[in-house]
């Protein structure tokens, strides 16, 4: 149980009202000395209890005070005739009314205090619910933005595939990736290129796949991509490629390399004239 859950459990309200066991009392006092949040909540509850007690306190009627003064004898009797008598108990209707008034007032104050604790607890619950809803709404909006971005990318990719001159090349994996299969969509006219990863081995977080176009044996960087975390079926590369005799895929460090690492070559295919 964390601090927030402990505060929401109601143990602090019970402590303020004196409705806890000795063990619970020691526990609250110990935790309030360790966690400032619990100490602050305890101070607020104590202030609330004191304010309610002051707000709904009942002052005894003046008539009751006068009657009590009349019942008391402040005269000084002679020393030899001093007689100690028990103080008479006032069993009149006024005394009973005064007692009933105090009981009713105390009961009303207690009910109001309990109701205020209930409202405070409900307010805290509503605030936590509202915070959860806001977090969920923010997450949903983020997902909607991602879906819109993916939709825009897919529409742009689809438009590229429909353009005249777009060619489809299949790169099959070598002995290092025997099940590797990647499709390359390339349009030499507008220099756009995209890939569709059908199957590639998973890579460590610090590595990525890198696509190369080869022109007269010279490698040209065509962009990097993740084969094991594909968010869209077809990924557009961010490098313009106007010429290519063949395309190849290597494994490089994350972010790519200016020149390919031949020892990590996984696939290569020529571009037919």
Q: What is the 3-state secondary structure (H, E, C) of the chain?
A: CCHHHHHHCCHHHHHHCCCCCHHHHHHHHHHHHHCHHHHHHHHHHHHHHHHHHHHCCCCCCHHHHHHHHHHCCCCCCCHHHCCCCCCCCCCCHHHHHHHHHHHHHHHHHHHHHHHHHHHHHHHHHHHHHHHHHHHHHHHHHHHHHHHHHHHHHHHHHHHHHHCCCEEEEEEECCCCCCCCEEEEEEECCCCEEEEEEEECCCCCCCEEEEEEEEECCEEEEEEEECCCCCCCCCEECCCCCCCCCEEEEEEEECCCCCCCCHHHEEEEEECCC
Domains annotated for the chain, with CATH where assigned, are 166-270 (2.60.40)
Taking the complete model, does pTM exceed 0.75, yes or no?
A: no
pLDDT in tens, the chain (273 residues): 788 888 888 888 888 888 888 888 888 888 888 888 888 988 888 888 777 767 766 566 666 566 666 666 555 555 555 565 655 555 555 556 666 677 778 888 888 888 888 888 888 888 888 888 888 888 888 878 877 766 776 776 777 777 888 999 999 999 999 999 999 999 999 999 999 999 999 999 999 999 999 999 899 999 999 986 555 578 889 899 999 999 999 999 999 999 999 999 999 999 985
């Amino acid at each position: 149980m964390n601090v927030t859950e402990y505060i929401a459990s109601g143990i602090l309200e019970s402590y303020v009202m004196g409705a806890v066991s000795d063990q619970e009392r020691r526990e609250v006092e110990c935790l309030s000395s360790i966690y400032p949040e619990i100490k602050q909540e305890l101070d607020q509850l104590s202030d609330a209890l004191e304010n309610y007690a002051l707000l709904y306190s009942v002052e005894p009627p003046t008539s009751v005070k006068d009657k009590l003064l009349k019942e008391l004898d402040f005269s000084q009797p002679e020393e030899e005739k001093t007689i100690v008598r028990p103080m008479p108990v006032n069993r009149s209707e006024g005394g009973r009314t005064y007692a009933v008034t105090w009981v009713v007032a105390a009961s009303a104050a207690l009910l109001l205090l309990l109701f205020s604790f209930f409202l405070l607890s409900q307010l805290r619950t509503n605030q936590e619910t509202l915070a959860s809803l806001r977090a969920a709404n923010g997450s949903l909006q983020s997902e909607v933005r991602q879906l819109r971005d993916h939709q825009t990318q897919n529409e742009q990719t689809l438009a590229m595939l429909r353009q005249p001159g777009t060619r489809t090349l299949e790169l099959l994996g070598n002995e290092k990736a025997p099940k590797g299969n990647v499709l390359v969509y390339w349009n030499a006219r507008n220099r756009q290129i995209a890939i569709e990863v059908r199957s590639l081995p998973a890579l460590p977080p610090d590595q990525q796949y890198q696509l190369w176009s080869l022109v007269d044996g010279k490698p040209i960087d065509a962009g990097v991509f993740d084969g094991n975390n594909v968010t869209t079926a077809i990924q557009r590369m961010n490098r313009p490629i106007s010429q290519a005799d063949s395309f190849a895929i290597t494994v490089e460090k994350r972010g790519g390399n200016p020149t390919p690492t031949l020892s990590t070559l996984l696939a290569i295919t020529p571009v037919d004239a």
